[in-house]
Amino acid sequence: MTDSETSVKLWELDSTHPEKAETLRTALREVLDPELGLSVIELGLIRDVSMRQDKLHVQMILTTPYCPYGPALLEMTRSRAEQVLTVPTKIEIGREYWEPSMMEDGATADWGLL
C-alpha cells in the first residue's frame, strides 16, 4: 500500500516497530496546535519517526517557520512520545515547508479548506 491508499504518512517506525508506531500515532493525536485546534498527526507535521538503540528520533515540521507556538508544540510532542513509549526522544525540525496537502485525508474539511 502507498501513503495515498492508506491516507496515513508512513514512518520508518511503521516497518521496524509497527505496534509502537500505532501507539505513538494514537498518542500524538492528543497534541494539538493551539491556534488551529488540529493534532500534529492531522496536520501532517510528523514527517518521520525512527528508533535506534532504544532512542526515538522524530522529524517534525511546523506550519510556519516562525510559529509562535512552535517551541511549545515541539516540547509537547517530545514529552508525549517519551511518556507513551518510555524511551528518550529527540525532535529534529525538518527544513520542509508545510502545506495543506500534507494534512490527513478529511482534516482539510475540518479546517474549512474544502
pLDDT at 3 over 70: no
- Model pLDDT for residues 52-64, shown as the tens digit of each residue: 999 999 999 999 9
pLDDT at 43 over 90: yes
Q: What is the mean pLDDT of residues 45-50?
A: 97
Domain limits of the chain?
Answer: 9-94
Superfamily of domain 9-94: Fe-S cluster assembly (FSCA) (3.30.300.130)
Q: 84 or 110: whose pLDDT is higher?
A: 84
Scanning the structure block, which residue is given the C-alpha cell 509537547? 76
Buried b (16+ CB within 10 A) or exposed e, 89-104: bebeebeeebeeebbb
Q: 58 or 2: whose pLDDT is higher?
A: 58
pTM assigned to the model: 0.86
Backbone Cα Rg of the chain: 13
